[in-house]
Structure 1
Amino acid sequence: MEIQVKLWFRAIIGATLLVGVLGVPGVQAVAALPSGPSPGPSIGVGDPLPEGKHCRVVLDKLRPGEKISRVLSRTCADRQESLNINQDLLIMTWYQDLNYGGLSTVVEGAYGPCDANGYGIRDTGAWVAGWRNIITSYKVWNNCYYSLYYTAINYGGDGSHPVHEGNNSYVGDHFNDRVRSILIWGPN
């Protein structure tokens, strides 16, 4: 099973890199393989951010005791259909406007749906150009039912207490265009 998962993962990363190398019109890709046990993102902070109207970020699952999911890949395109979104791995979609409108970023979990550990997004603007302080609504998928969002990176600043359950058509006046970090998880 572990070998199959590694081969599957390498195929996804290879396809993402191939898209970036071949220069498919309207698609920008940046990817990296996970780099050991570090809890930080695998893609460096100084790496160029992809740009486009719609983006896709793939995260590594949180392990017990971790609070930051590693970024395994990120891709942006002018059309959402160009992103090859895997519905089985989809955990969250961010939207620029209320009621799930405007520009969007889909977040996938490389190892499937949410569990009690879930995924941690330490800085919404560090992975995709233009997503710092822009989230107004979001949807959750595949057992990712609970979320907390914050106005500062690393789960700092004001938090959305109590825990939010399910989709959120409007994050509220206080959090609108101020969401900077997000924790998302599922029931036990």
Structure 2
Amino acid sequence: MIANPTGRRLLSAAVAGICALSANAAMAAPAHAAGHGAYCSVTIAPIKAGEAASRVRSYVCADSPGRLRAAAADGGKTLIMTLYNQVNYGPGSTEIRADGGPCDSTGYGIASIGWPWNEVISSFRVWNNCHTTEAYSSDNYGGTSKMYFGDVPNVGPDMNDKIHSFRIYAA
């Protein structure tokens, strides 16, 4: 686990990493990005037929949850997951929002989270019918995997600070 304030810098850089994913991960650079801070919001699209991952539509960061809400242009996008860099939903977070509505059986996926985000995830919460999360220790859904159901206050020692990709969907 990474403690603040270093954790806040890493968490901010993490969102930039999410948006700078390779073409192999089927992710597109965001149309717009803004801000730095320990609280971020990323909007992604549903997985399309023939694709392995969701496309990043936008991201924004701020130094407090209130400022994030004021800065986020999520326009009512559906909150599907909140990632935390500490166990028990510790300070600093990234909201994953969907522009395709709640989870269904296809759901959403990030095939390559990018550095340093893949080195800080310790807990997460899920929302809006996104009950099942498959986390992987390598990019492109490879390496060690672990399945989680519902909110996870501690991803456990085998995946703590090691998640590189994930899928989230309705069971």
Q: What's the TM-score once normalised by structure 2's chain length? A: 0.75
Asked if 2 retains the 8 angstrom alpha-carbon contact of 1:95 and 1:103, the reply is: yes
Does residue 83 (structure 1) correspond to residue 83 (structure 2)? The answer is no
Runs of 4+ in 1 over 6 A off after TM superposition: none
Q: Deviation of residue 63 (structure 1)?
A: 2.0
What is the rounded CA distance, in whole Å, between the counterparts of 1:115 and 1:75 in structure 2?
Answer: 25
What is the rounded CA distance, in whole Å, between the counterparts of 1:80 and 1:72 in structure 2?
Answer: 20
Return closer, same or farther for 1:48/1:111 CA change in 2, 3 Å cut-off: closer
Percent same amino acid among aligned pairs? 36
- Match of residue 122, structure 2, among 115, 131, 136: 136
Partner of 2:140: 154
What are the ranges of 5 or more consecutive residues in structure 2 without an aligned counterpart? 1-14, 17-23
Q: Cα deviation per residue 1:90-124 (whole Å; 9 max; x = unaligned)?
A: 00000011111121100001121001110011122
Does residue 96 (structure 1) correspond to residue 96 (structure 2)? The answer is no
What is the rounded CA distance, in whole Å, between the counterparts of 1:136 and 1:53 in structure 2?
Answer: 15
Does residue 122 (structure 1) correspond to residue 108 (structure 2)? The answer is no
What is the rounded CA distance, in whole Å, between the counterparts of 1:102 and 1:60 in structure 2?
Answer: 26
What is the rounded CA distance, in whole Å, between the counterparts of 1:174 and 1:124 in structure 2?
Answer: 18
Asked if 1 retains the 8 angstrom alpha-carbon contact of 2:33 and 2:58, the reply is: no
What are the ranges of 5 or more consecutive residues in structure 1 without an aligned counterpart? 1-28, 31-37
What is the rounded CA distance, in whole Å, between the counterparts of 1:123 and 1:49 in structure 2?
Answer: 21
RMSD: 2.7
Asked if 1 retains the 8 angstrom alpha-carbon contact of 2:86 and 2:123, the reply is: yes
Q: What's the TM-score once normalised by structure 1's chain length? A: 0.69
Return closer, same or farther for 1:88/1:74 CA change in 2, 3 Å cut-off: closer
Return closer, same or farther for 1:92/1:112 CA change in 2, 3 Å cut-off: same
What is the rounded CA distance, in whole Å, between the counterparts of 2:95 and 2:79 in structure 1?
Answer: 7
RCO comparison, higher one (Cα < 8 Å, 6+) = 2
Return closer, same or farther for 1:83/1:92 CA change in 2, 3 Å cut-off: same
What is the rounded CA distance, in whole Å, between the counterparts of 1:95 and 1:53 in structure 2?
Answer: 10
What is the rounded CA distance, in whole Å, between the counterparts of 2:137 and 2:25 in structure 1?
Answer: 21
Does residue 73 (structure 1) correspond to residue 62 (structure 2)? The answer is no
What is the rounded CA distance, in whole Å, between the counterparts of 1:50 and 1:156 in structure 2?
Answer: 31
Q: How many residues align?
A: 145
What is the rounded CA distance, in whole Å, between the counterparts of 1:49 and 1:180 in structure 2?
Answer: 23
Q: Deviation of residue 177 (structure 1)?
A: 0.6
Asked if 2 retains the 8 angstrom alpha-carbon contact of 1:88 and 1:113, the reply is: no
Q: Deviation of residue 173 (structure 1)?
A: 0.4
Asked if 2 retains the 8 angstrom alpha-carbon contact of 1:53 and 1:104, the reply is: yes
Does residue 61 (structure 1) correspond to residue 46 (structure 2)? The answer is yes
What is the rounded CA distance, in whole Å, between the counterparts of 1:125 and 1:52 in structure 2?
Answer: 18
